[in-house]
Structure 1
Amino acid sequence: MHYDVLLIGSGFGSLTAAALLSKRGLKVGVLEQAKYPGGSATSYKRKGYWFETGATTLVGLDEHMPLRYLLEETGIQLPGLRKLEVPMQVYLPNGTIVTRYQHLEQWIAEAERIFGKQSQREFWDYCYRISKQVWQVSLQQRSFPFSTASDLLQAARAFRPGQLMLIPGAFKTMEDLLRHYNLHDNKLFIDFVNEQLLITAQSYMQEVNVLFGATALCYTLYSNYYLDGGLINLVQPVIDYCKNNGATIHYGQEVTGILPSADGYEVTTSKGSYSCRFIVSGIPLNNTIALYKDEKLHNRLQKYIFPSEQLNGAFTMSLVLKKQARNILHHQLHLPDGLPVINSKSIFISFSHDADNSRAPEGEQVASISTHIPDPAGTYIHQKEKIEQAIVAALAEADLVLPQQIISCQSATPGAWQFWTKRAYGAVGGYPQYRHIKPWQMKDARLDHKGAYLCGDTVYPGQGIVGVCLSGIIAAEKLIRDQRL
């Protein structure tokens, strides 16, 4: 079967690109190894319950943000959206509960109450201003990172003087910023910042540059949403849009090889083969490079590949609970002594909405729990039960989940994540931020500078769904511009 464009994987970056390319009238095919679309931003069904696969929060519908851009470009509607009045609560090691309000003034007042008044206003005013500018410039400069003269020409056309204010932030870390505001000795605040950065930028303040770090810290200051039925109902409207434009989604098709041909590419899968003029890979760069037999391409891309030692995996739990009224759905618990076996210092839990009866029967609800594990390939977990017990005990101590509320529980290690998603090492969240890699040194969307492109969380890492959505926008635009479609 021949296509204009084949997309490898149906993660949200791929689906974003597929929607924009199918809108142009191209014949689009999507190859997905699983039986559900959406990759790490979807839901799966088990024993009648719908659990989130990876991501649990939805951000990106505010002005100048990628998800809003996608919906406006396509006219896609998201049913069952519920705006969260409070995006999250954080439980500090000293027992204090921090409420992460969306409204900036309300959040600053809370930060001053918890961490002291010194420089909190100045720090958060600056971070929020940078984050808004980052998202606005990201959509203005859709040829970034640059790798051709055409990119530079497009960048010049999209240049606005205000974009220059972001440049210094690429050379400073979040640790530098905390020092600038004399917050580097505030241990309670430093611990808070580090654990918040870990769940959004996949790294700590010593490594994360200010551009990514400020943006990551401020995601609760934007509109956060819950989707009835889970994030599968973010993915399905995009799938439907693509299908209505003639696209085809092939499930159970794990790609095993990519070979350049006279008129494009030959793609082999676990069930057959396909041909296409162009490719967009939405799977991690580690997985993508393994599909090519081209040694020169391997050598050229090797500098962009992160080994397991520089990545994070996750230990996850999916709970079925007796329903309890909850005003706040997302919580992060900081653990001063760390979890046994893996030593993770925080856990993140997301509950299904009280009014959403589509993910669990009446009187019940589901919850998703995750915690980071560094170097997933080098961390084989033999004692899952110890970790599970420690997490349940921490949730009970915080009065979030009591043992008698738990109807069922299942947990998964990075090995299980790798088995089900096929992501290299079972890594989650994309490539972490490292200070030695400047934004313009990240991998461009072009894979081979012929007809193969890349999107997903190893292109625009961190920042969740909104980041991978941006990566799909950029990949589609570069393909269209390069090929003059």
Structure 2
Amino acid sequence: MKYNVILIGSGFGSLTAAALLAKRGMKVCVLEQAKYPGGCASSYKRKGYWFETGATTLVGLDEHMPLHYLLKETGIQVPFRRLETPMQVHLPDGQLVTRFQKLDEWIGEAERVFGKGRQRDFWEHCFKISQEVWRTSLEQRSFPFSNPKDVWQGVQHTRPRQLRLLPGAFRTMEDLLRRYGLLENRLFVGFVNEQLLITAQNHMEEVNELFGATALCYTLYGNYYVDGGLIRLARAIEQYLTSKGSSIRYRHAVKSVNATAEGYDVTTGAGTFQCRFVISGIPLNNTHELFRDEHLKSKLRRYTLPSEKLNGAFTMGFVIKNRFRQSVLHHQVHVPEGLPIIGSKSFFVSFSHPNDTERAPSGHTVVAVSTHVSDPEHSVIYDKKPLVEAILALMEKEKLLQREDILYLDSATPGAWIFWTQRAFGMVGGYPQYRHIKPWQMKDARLDHKGAYICGDTVYPGQGIVGTCLSGIIAVHKLLQDHF
């Protein structure tokens, strides 16, 4: 069957690109190896409950942000619940930090917990940077540049305020803390490092100021919850595609992509599909293996990262009886001594909304726990019990649950992620930020400069639903710029 565009994988970058292309009247087909859409921003059903696959937080609906742009362009509507309080952080000294959304409230809380010092100056600077980063990201859709037309369009859309961001690409978050006299505050340094892991996948000495400031400030924007789980957002995009004459084909794992005179042959276990253009929404580590062109494979391999520079995850999903209503759904618990086996110094907890009866019946709550596993290829977890016990004990200590309320519990290692998602090494969260890789050095959306493109969390701009959404927007922009 012939399509205008085939997208590999139904992660949020792919879904974004598919929706925007379908809006332009193109016949689009998304090939997905699983039975649900959404990739690492989806949900799955087990024992009658809906668990999140990976991502549990949702931002990007504010003006000048990618998800807002996508929904405005397509008219897709999803009933979101705005969270009054985005997150709480449980520090190693026993203090509880509430990450308020309003900047002044958050600065007051940061000063209360970490001491005044120059907290206000630091957070006002970070928030200003984050606002400009998001605004610029939609204005500069040709970035990163990979041909003369990109450069020309970049120049045309350059504004003086954008140029003020440039020094931030050469400074790390460690430099920024030093600038504001906060580097000797060990409690604050630990807080910053574990918060950066959530969205930048790395610590302050590696994360540049542009990504780091934006990552730290994601709680200062609208944070949302979707009843039924994030799969509901993916399903809404799927319905939009169907209404435009396009589709998602499940249980279609792509085996190879071969360039032809008229476009590409994309082969799955179920057959071969023809298309004029192809967009990969799976990681670079997986993408470069699909192409038969050895020169292209070699070229793309230079952008891939080995397991030693990536993160996997240990995850837990369980159901508890509602002994009390959670007023804050998302929590990060710091573990300065490190968790058993893997050594992670924090874990993230998300509760389903107490009024969401789509994920669990009234009186029950679905809980998701995740923590980083560095170098997942070589971090084999043979016995999960000590890790599970340590996390449950800490959650009890922090009054996030009582063990006798648990009705069901399951856990998974990076090996399970390989099985579920087919992502190389069981990688989660995309490529971590590294100081030696500047934003303009990240892989841009073009794969072969003919008709193959890429989006997702291993190319610019990287992690999170909002980042992969932007990558899908950029891929579409470059495809249309190149060929229409």
Q: TM-score, normalised by structure 2?
A: 0.99
Partner of 2:162: 163
Q: CA deviation at 1:460?
A: 2.9
Where 2:41 maps in the other structure, the secondary structure is coil
Q: CA deviation at 1:303?
A: 1.8
Q: CA deviation at 1:34?
A: 0.2
Deviates more, 1:329-338 or 1:299-308: 299-308
Counterpart residue type for residue 455 of structure 1: C
- Indicate if the aligned counterparts of 2:321 and 2:364 stay in contact, CA closer than 8 A: yes
Partner of 2:292: 293
- List aligned pairs for 1:23-422, cutoff 5 A: 23-79=23-79, 81-323=80-322, 324-422=324-422
- Indicate if the aligned counterparts of 2:174 and 2:204 stay in contact, CA closer than 8 A: yes
Taking the aligned partners of 1:74 and 1:258, their CA distance within structure 2 comes to: 29
- Indicate if the aligned counterparts of 2:444 and 2:460 stay in contact, CA closer than 8 A: no
- Indicate if the aligned counterparts of 1:202 and 1:462 stay in contact, CA closer than 8 A: no
Taking the aligned partners of 2:336 and 2:28, their CA distance within structure 1 comes to: 50
Taking the aligned partners of 2:354 and 2:410, their CA distance within structure 1 comes to: 21
Q: CA deviation at 1:362?
A: 2.0
Counterpart residue type for residue 393 of structure 1: A
Taking the aligned partners of 1:17 and 1:315, their CA distance within structure 2 comes to: 30
Taking the aligned partners of 1:460 and 1:262, their CA distance within structure 2 comes to: 29
Taking the aligned partners of 1:250 and 1:333, their CA distance within structure 2 comes to: 39
Partner of 2:451: 451
Q: Deviations over 1:84-124 (max 9, x none)?
A: 01000000001000000000000000000000000100000
Q: CA deviation at 1:461?
A: 4.8
Where 1:339 maps in the other structure, the secondary structure is coil
Deviates more, 1:230-239 or 1:9-18: 230-239
Q: Deviations over 1:332-391 (max 9, x none)?
A: 000121111111100100000011111112211101000000000011101101100000
- Indicate if the aligned counterparts of 1:201 and 1:461 stay in contact, CA closer than 8 A: no
Aligned residues: CA RMSD: 0.7
Taking the aligned partners of 1:387 and 1:205, their CA distance within structure 2 comes to: 26
Partner of 1:471: 471
Taking the aligned partners of 2:462 and 2:282, their CA distance within structure 1 comes to: 15
Counterpart residue type for residue 162 of structure 1: R
Percent of residue pairs identical: 64
- Indicate if the aligned counterparts of 1:29 and 1:249 stay in contact, CA closer than 8 A: yes
- Indicate if the aligned counterparts of 1:200 and 1:462 stay in contact, CA closer than 8 A: no
Partner of 1:3: 3
Taking the aligned partners of 2:411 and 2:108, their CA distance within structure 1 comes to: 38
Q: TM-score, normalised by structure 1?
A: 0.99
Q: CA deviation at 1:463?
A: 4.2
Partner of 2:13: 13
Where 1:410 maps in the other structure, the secondary structure is strand
Q: Deviations over 1:70-90 (max 9, x none)?
A: 0111111112x1110100000
Taking the aligned partners of 2:472 and 2:156, their CA distance within structure 1 comes to: 21
- Indicate if the aligned counterparts of 1:8 and 1:282 stay in contact, CA closer than 8 A: yes
- Indicate if the aligned counterparts of 2:14 and 2:280 stay in contact, CA closer than 8 A: yes
Deviates more, 1:291-300 or 1:331-340: 291-300
Taking the aligned partners of 1:462 and 1:332, their CA distance within structure 2 comes to: 21
Partner of 2:424: 424
Where 2:202 maps in the other structure, the secondary structure is coil
Where 1:304 maps in the other structure, the secondary structure is coil
- Structure 2: which 5+ runs fail to align? none
- Indicate if the aligned counterparts of 2:461 and 2:470 stay in contact, CA closer than 8 A: no
Quick check: 1:436 aligned with 2:413? no
Where 1:211 maps in the other structure, the secondary structure is helix
- Indicate if the aligned counterparts of 1:430 and 1:461 stay in contact, CA closer than 8 A: no
Taking the aligned partners of 1:471 and 1:449, their CA distance within structure 2 comes to: 17
Counterpart residue type for residue 265 of structure 1: Y
Taking the aligned partners of 1:174 and 1:96, their CA distance within structure 2 comes to: 24
Q: CA deviation at 1:462?
A: 4.3
Deviates more, 1:284-293 or 1:454-463: 454-463
- Indicate if the aligned counterparts of 2:86 and 2:99 stay in contact, CA closer than 8 A: yes
Q: Deviations over 1:144-192 (max 9, x none)?
A: 0000111111111211111011000000000000000011100000000
Counterpart residue type for residue 317 of structure 2: S
Counterpart residue type for residue 294 of structure 1: D
Taking the aligned partners of 2:405 and 2:349, their CA distance within structure 1 comes to: 15
Taking the aligned partners of 1:74 and 1:92, their CA distance within structure 2 comes to: 42
- Indicate if the aligned counterparts of 2:238 and 2:247 stay in contact, CA closer than 8 A: no
Q: Deviations over 1:39-59 (max 9, x none)?
A: 000111111100000000110
Counterpart residue type for residue 208 of structure 1: V
- Indicate if the aligned counterparts of 1:146 and 1:152 stay in contact, CA closer than 8 A: yes
Where 1:16 maps in the other structure, the secondary structure is helix
Taking the aligned partners of 1:300 and 1:353, their CA distance within structure 2 comes to: 46
Q: CA deviation at 1:293?
A: 1.9
Where 1:416 maps in the other structure, the secondary structure is helix
Taking the aligned partners of 2:265 and 2:374, their CA distance within structure 1 comes to: 36
